[in-house]
Structure 1
C-alpha cells in the first residue's frame, strides 16, 4: 500500500521484549481519537516512527547511490536509468515512492507530538519528544537535500488542508531541523538498555545536528556538537571505530560501538527485513548498479574496505549480504551515522577553520585510514587547506560506498565542482554525451503530489 502527503497512517505497535527494538509488531490500526491516551499508547506511536524509517531507508539507495559517481549502470532502463543518467521527470515512480514514505514517517512523528502531553511519566515524555523530533528532522534533512524547497508540516493535518502543502524555503526548513535536533540533544538519553539500543540517543542527535551544520558550512557548531563524541584522543569512549571494517555490516556483529544511529532490520520476522540487500545482488532489480571502474581504482593496494565494499570480479556491492535470508527479507541494519563519519566531519570542520591542516585534521582522518590499513597523511603531504579538503572528501567516498552518503556529499559541495565531477564520471563510464545541468542537482517534485495538492504544491524550476 502506498501513501501520500495527504495521508497520515497510524500504526500501533505492541511491546514483546524481543532482542531487537523493532521486533515489536502491530496489534491493530486504530482510530486516532481512540488511542494515544496514555504513556504506553504514545510509546507505541514512537515505535511506529521507527517503523517508518525502515520503509524509507529500504529504498533510499534508488535516489542516492544510483545517482552518485561511485556506481555505474550502463544497462539500466526505465525509472532506474532515468535517475542514473539524469533524465528523470516528475512521473518517476522512485521519486514519488520516497516522498510518500518520508512524509508518512513525518506524519507519524507529528501524531506522537500531538499527544505527547498524555504521557504521565516526565522522563519518558522527554525521551519520546526527542525521538520524534530527531526522526522528523532526519526526514526533512533528506527531503530538503533531495528535492529542495518542500512542504513543512509540524503538526497533524486534515486530508483537505491543501494550503499546508505549499513549498517552504530551505532556510526555514533548516531552521526547523536545527530546532528539533537541539531539543533531541537535550531530551534524549546518553544510552538505552540493550533491548532498545536502536533508539535515538543524545550522541546520535549531536552527530546528526553536526551533519546539518556541516551541510550549512557552520563549522564552529560542527565541532561544538562533535567534541564530546570524539574525545580528547579521537578514539571516543561511547563510540569507537570497529576494529574490523567488514564486521560493521554483518548481521553477526550489529550495533557495535561504531554505530551512532542505524535503522534496524530483522530477517524472517513478519515484514521487519530489508530488501536492499537482495536488490544489489545479481538477481535483484538493482543488479546493474555496480562500483564504477573509476571508483574501484580509487582504493590503494591493501585497503581492506575494497573487498568489503564491492566484488572485484563483477563490481556488485558486498556490504549488507545476508545469504541465509529469504529474498527481499534480509536482516542487515542500515547505518545512518557511524563513528567514522563523526571523525571525518570533525576533520573537515577543523580544516575549514584553519589556514593549514594540523593535528585536529590529520589525526581523525588518519584514524579512519589506519583502520582501513591504508597509508596515512602528514603535514608535508597535506600542507594546504585545499589539499586536506580534497583528501577528506575522497576519504568519505572510500569509506561510505553504497551507504547513500556520496550523493549528499556531492550536493553540498561547490556547485561547479560537483557538475565537473559528475560530467567527468559520466564520460569515464561510457556516457560522454550526457552533461549534467545545475537544476538536476535536486529532483523534481512528484507530479502525483502536485495534482493531489490542488495546485498548492509547485514544481522545481526547469522541470515544468
Structure 2
C-alpha cells in the first residue's frame, strides 16, 4: 500500500451526479460535533484530496481529453465527437463531471474549514493548523482549475446548507484569482515543508510556492494580462529553488516516470503527485488511467493493457533536437511485437512511422503492482515537478529582468539533464548544442523557454494551459491543422480533427447545460 493520506483511513465516496448548488451533500460528514479526534480530521481531509483522483479530474480527463494540443491527438479514430476533439457542447458529460467534481471539492473544503475549530477536538494544535492549511490550499487549487477553464465562476466560500441555495451569479475572474492567491499565501504559512514527508502527495510549502508561481504566470498572461504578476511568479519559484528545500533534478529523465510506475517517491524532483493505489484484492483505490488510456498500445492484459490512445503529432516529434534523450522516452520509438515466438518484444519503428507513436512517458512494462488491471493503473500523476519550477522561474525572470545569467542557468539545468549531462560537468566538456545559444534577446529567450516547456513537460496537462496564457492557442492549432493536411500520411489525416475544430470559443469551456437549467443567475460563456 502507498503511504498517502488516502490510505490512512477509509475513503469517503462522493456522487458526482448532483449539481453542487442543487442539493445538500449526503455523503460527507457535516455535523459540527464530528471533529473530535485526529482520525476525524484526517478522514475529512482525505475527502477533500479525494477529488484529485477521480476519472473526471486527474484520473483521466485533465491530462487526456482536456490537454490534447499540438503535441498529440486522440488516436481512437472511430470517434467524431469528444472533448478531446474540440467537438462538444454544453451537455458534454466530461465537462459537466469536471465542473461538478471541482465544486464538490470546494464544498468539502468549506465544510472542513467551518467545522474543524471544534472546542471538543482532541488534536495537537500544530497538526490542526497544518490540516487547515491543506484544506485552504486545495479549495484555492480547485478554484484555479475552474477559473482557468471557465473564466468567471461562482465564488462560493461557505458550504451548501439548504436546497434553496441554487441561484448564484458568476464572479469576475480577476476577483477569483485574487482570492486564490490570498488563500494560497495564507496556506503557505500553515503547512509543513517537503522534508516533513517521505512521499509527495501531500500539500507542502514547496507545493504551494510552485503552484503560486503557476497561478501568477497565468495572471500575467491571457486573459488578465497583469504583467506585474511576473515578479510574483519569479518570487515564488525562487522559494522552491532555495537550496534549503533540497529540491533538484533527477539525473535520469526517464527514471522520473519509471518511479511513478514502481511506486517510488522522488520528493526532490516531484513536488506534488496525485496518488493512485491498488488494494490487495487487485481493485483500485482510485481510478487512474496513466499507461492504460495513454502509454504504448498493447492488448496483453498480464503484461499491461494499454489503448495507446494519445498519439504524438509529427510537429511535436520533430521539435526535439538531435541527441535530446527526452524524445524517445516521451514518445515511444518501438512497439510490442512477437519476434521468434517471444511476445512483447521491442520492435523499432521506422523513421516514417511517426503518427503511430504515443504518449509513452508511463509504460506499463515497468508497473510492479499486480495483478494489472485493463482500464486503470496505480501510476501516480505529477502535477508539479522541479523542472517546471526552473522553467517558470526562467520565464518570469526574462519578463522582469531580461535573459539574465540566472534565467539561462535555470533553462540549461533542464537541458543538460535532457542530454544526459545533469551531473556537474566542466563548461569546456558541454557540447555547444546542449545549452541555449548565448546573447539571446528577450523575445528569442521567451520563445526558447516556451519550446523547452513543451519538450520537458509534454503530456503532463500543461500544454493547452500554456498556449492559452501565451495567447497563441488558436494560431498554434490552425498552423497544426494546415501541417497535418499537407504532410500526414493519408491514413492519419484524421489526426488534425481537433485542430480543424478549434475556434475562439475553445479558449473556455461551456458552463454545463444542467447548471444553466438549475441556476437562474448563471449565464453561458460567449459563443457557447
Common fold by TM > 0.5: yes
Conserved in 2, the CA contact under 8 Å of 1:147 and 1:444?
Answer: yes
State the distance in 1 between where 2:199 and 2:458 align.
28
Q: 1:378 to 1:394 in 2, by over 3 A?
A: closer
- Is 1:22 the counterpart of 2:88 in the alignment? no
- Is 1:91 the counterpart of 2:157 in the alignment? no
Q: Which residue in 1 is equivalent to 2:252? A: 244
- Is 1:136 the counterpart of 2:139 in the alignment? yes
SS at match of 2:378: coil
CA-based RMSD = 2.5
Q: 1:247 to 1:146 in 2, by over 3 A?
A: same
Q: Which residue in 2 is equivalent to 1:61? A: 63
Q: 1:81 to 1:246 in 2, by over 3 A?
A: farther
Deviations 1:39-64 (A, max 9, x none): 43122111111222111211212443
Q: Which residue in 1 is equivalent to 2:480? A: 425
State the distance in 2 between where 1:196 and 1:383 align.
39
State the distance in 2 between where 1:245 and 1:150 align.
38
Conserved in 2, the CA contact under 8 Å of 1:351 and 1:389?
Answer: yes
Which of structures 1 and 2 has the bigger CA Rg?
2
State the distance in 1 between where 2:501 and 2:29 align.
50
State the distance in 2 between where 1:249 and 1:327 align.
20
Q: 1:65 to 1:440 in 2, by over 3 A?
A: closer
SS at match of 2:383: strand
Q: Which residue in 1 is equivalent to 2:291? A: 277
How far 1:348 sits from its partner (Å)?
0.3
Q: 1:298 to 1:30 in 2, by over 3 A?
A: closer
SS at match of 2:291: helix
Conserved in 1, the CA contact under 8 Å of 2:198 and 2:267?
Answer: no
Deviations 1:153-179 (A, max 9, x none): 212113524455321111111011011
Q: Which residue in 1 is equivalent to 2:74? A: 73
- Is 1:391 the counterpart of 2:412 in the alignment? no
Deviations 1:194-238 (A, max 9, x none): 466421111111111111111112111112212232237xxx752
How far 1:189 sits from its partner (Å)?
1.1
Deviations 1:290-333 (A, max 9, x none): 11111011111221111221213432121223345312331211
TM-score normalised to the size of structure 2?
0.77
State the distance in 2 between where 1:397 and 1:27 align.
35
- Is 1:258 the counterpart of 2:269 in the alignment? yes
Q: Which residue in 2 is equivalent to 1:5? A: none
Q: 1:358 to 1:462 in 2, by over 3 A?
A: same
SS at match of 1:335: strand
How far 1:239 sits from its partner (Å)?
1.0
State the distance in 2 between where 1:30 and 1:100 align.
15
Q: How many residues align?
A: 437
Conserved in 2, the CA contact under 8 Å of 1:110 and 1:156?
Answer: yes
Among 342, 345, 353, the residue aligned to 2:389: 342
State the distance in 1 between where 2:518 and 2:211 align.
32
Extract unaligned runs of 5+ from structure 1: 1-16
Q: Which residue in 2 is equivalent to 1:439? A: 505
Q: Which residue in 2 is equivalent to 1:176? A: 179
State the distance in 1 between where 2:187 and 2:129 align.
9
1:396-411 matches, cutoff 5 A: 396-411=453-468
